[in-house]
Amino acid sequence: MTEYTVEFVGTGETIEVSDTETILQPCIEEGIAQEYSCRVGMCLACSAEIVEGEVTQPAARGLTDEEAEEFALTCMARPQSDLKLDRGKYPPSIEEDAGSGTPAAPADDD
């Protein structure tokens, strides 16, 4: 088990997260106000932009493959390095659909 430092840019908040746990779990334990809802990688409420570092998030079904390279769903993402995350940043697929009031559906990878 390896511990990584996760820094939330612009907030001064930093947590230690092991590579065997999601980023969201220590946020909850430390009292960090990270938004979340479904906790299964679909709703995108816990989205954060990856400013620096790498995560693994194979169950982040709400993101396209391209979005998963730039955004982390903290309920699913496990750190693979020290990270800098910008909370409350959403992938383009949800931002583009925000005007309709309906979350964008993930693209099919058929």
- The string of DSSP codes covering 28-68 is HHHT-----SSSSSSS-TTEEEEEES-EE-TT-TTS-HHHH
- Residues ≥6 apart with Cβ < 8 Å to 68: 57, 60
Give a yes or no: residue 105 inside a domain. Answer: no
Q: How many domains does the chain have?
A: 1
Q: pTM here?
A: 0.82
CATH number at residue 42: 3.10.20.30
pLDDT value of position 45: 93
Mean pLDDT score of the chain: 87
pLDDT value of position 96: 60
Average pLDDT over residues 15-38: 95
Note down the domain range covering 48: 3-89
Give a yes or no: residue 106 inside a domain. Answer: no
pLDDT value of position 92: 84
Average pLDDT over residues 17-22: 96
Name the pLDDT band for 60 (thresholds 50, 70, 90): confident
Give a yes or no: residue 71 inside a domain. Answer: yes
pLDDT value of position 18: 97
